[in-house]
Amino acid sequence: MCGIVGYIGKNKAMPVLLDGLRKLEYRGYDSSGVAIFGKTLQTFKAVGKIKELEKVIGKNKSDGTIGIAHTRWATHGKPSKANAHPHSDCTGKIQVVHNGIIENHAELRELLKKKGHKFHSQTDTEVIPHLIEDLYKGDITQTLQEVLQIIKGAYGLVVFCQDEPEKLLVARCGSPLVIGIGKHETVIASDVSAILQHTKQVIYLEDGEMAEVGYDNFRVFDAKRNLIKKDIESVLWNIEEISKKGFEHFMLKEIFQQPESLKNSFNGRISFENGTAKLGGLTEVADRLRDVERIIIVACGTAWHDGLVGEYMLEEYAGIPVEVEWASEFRYRNPILNKRTAVIAISQSGETADTLAGIKEVKNKGALVLGIVNSVGSTISRETDAGVYNHIGPEISVASTKAFTSQVAILALLTVFLGRQRRMSLVMGKRILKELSDLPEKIDEFLKDNNIERIAKKYHKAKNFAFLGRKYCQPLANEGALKLKEISYIHAEGFASGEMKHGSIALIDKKFPSFFIAPKDSVYEKNLSNIEEIKSRSGDVIAITTKGNKSLEKIADDVIYIPKTLEMLTPILATIPLQLFAYHVARIKGFDVDKPRNLAKSVTVE
């Protein structure tokens, strides 16, 4: 959830560390810090944005060529200098940055206090350098291996010891870390975006692995302390993909990227001749998928809303019963699973802690596990039996946009793939694939001409918002509300349109506007009745509907038109105005659109 950067090489470390932290700002944080070793060991910490850390560093920029840095998202202890990373032992020689949560930190803290260790923060992380100090006998690598047997929980760790300044130690369990192998330098980070400027050659650590790295060498150990061979992999995207390219915010850029990102999601995966999808990542499990009788989708946040859309698709067109579960709750149930159950894990980052935990529970029970992820080499992509990559490039803004539409598109491909194995006709398969392939042009058409900014100016002072939809667009009501909450901090709720009258309509008045997703589809007349119910109680209504349907202009206060497509694919088109509405409201209110408060891009803690 937080950002980690480490550097050891022939160049000055400070510019690399600070630039790396900036590349990771989108992950969300409330404080930051750096430890750097040159002639002496120096540490700098600050609360707030990285610019505050730069003020603290001032002109004291070290010539040191080894260092570690961190952006913290508070879990244990409020944002403060004392709680910011790096954390050290009593001597100050051992410096540690850490993502994750040490679950047995309280008992370890008490044990170490009894031995005379002095603590200066409220964090769970601080027990780690003190444990290292307590066990250290001249070999930092061996000592950290011992410490990893004692601590419990999730961690991504980078450790520096002043007595052995020619190396950094890296360890992972449930929190991602990647090691970039450059020419006479090694860069460590919690996300590859902080490494790309220096190298595209990387090593992905697996859970339980630990690495000892120098500027031109490395060794990797497994959980049993055995030396293991790790392949160096190449990153397929480049540094230009994480720049704004003239857009005011990453979120706006990523909204406008969706025609291209959608194409990338289905390019090479459509067989018009056979009316089916070609999903290479599922080839080895295709026969097993033919026998699947039930699907469970596990996801969090926006990915969960994708799963809800997928539920409608898969049941209507593939004839397979589907359940959609919050990954954060799934692991605490006792789900009934067997070999004819497939579990689909959806995650943009491929590192979502709750989703990973759900996958591990499923694998223990013998079900087939599939992944839909964007990040190649991520933990979920490696832990699943098979899966499909989004191939949309990095998504930097915390509020997900292009990942949402890509995930729905892949679920549509999966629906065709499974449907054609079962009852779907060749004609229907071709029709769905044709409509899917036409969507990028239709999105581009909408983005060139819409009235969203004007509507956002009209409603940006609202304190509450209701989002409503039916059938395929019901999950969009949840997604629209989430987007508005995430970046504009306006209270918003998503409802199934038909459920509004069962209690929640009591909230409606002149100051409580409603946003209806009401395309001209099989439930349009039902939605129309629900709009009338809101209007009869003096509520303002914004409505998204299909281009050419002028009847809503007589009822709704503001109407947004989207191109026509198949009902099952409407969520891909209809989400674009919801994303733009949230974006413009947040921008008008003057908020940091890409880095909303209290949120992080990759949620790697429970």
From the list 253, 402, 595, 601, the catalytic residue is: 601
Distance CA 495, CA 470 (A): 9
Tokens linked to 504: 């929640």
The answer to whether residues 534 and 505 touch, using CB atoms and an 8 Å cutoff, is: yes
Distance CA 402, CA 251 (A): 9
322: left (phi > 0), else alpha (psi -120 to 50), else beta? beta
DSSP characters over 34-54 = EEEESSSEEEEEEESSHHHHH
The answer to whether residues 294 and 342 touch, using CB atoms and an 8 Å cutoff, is: yes
**Count of beta carbons in the 10 Å neighbourhood of residue 90:** 16
- The residue among 182, 237, 244 whose CA lies nearest residue 375 is 237
Tokens linked to 465: 């918002």
**Per residue in 385-417, is it b (16+ CB within 10 Å) or e — as a string?**
bbbbbbbbbbbbbbbbbbbbbbbbbbbbbbbbb
| Parallel/antiparallel/unpaired status of strands 514-517 and 464-469 | parallel
Residue type, 87: H
Distance CA 112, CA 211 (A): 26
Residue 382: strand pairing partners? none
**Count of beta carbons in the 10 Å neighbourhood of residue 115:** 9
| Parallel/antiparallel/unpaired status of strands 201-204 and 464-469 | unpaired
Known catalytic membership, residue 2: yes
Beta strands in 348-463, from DSSP E residues, in sequence order = 368-373, 386-389
Alpha-carbon separation of residue 269 from 370, 436, 478, 503 (angstroms): 17, 11, 29, 45
Q: How many helices (H) and strands (E) does the chain have?
A: 18, 27
From the list 2, 161, 173, 473, the catalytic residue is: 2
Known catalytic membership, residue 601: yes
**Count of beta carbons in the 10 Å neighbourhood of residue 462:** 17
Q: Which phi and psi (to 5°) does residue 338 adopt?
A: -150, -175
The answer to whether residues 130 and 90 touch, using CB atoms and an 8 Å cutoff, is: yes
The answer to whether residues 530 and 516 touch, using CB atoms and an 8 Å cutoff, is: yes
Active site residues: 2, 601
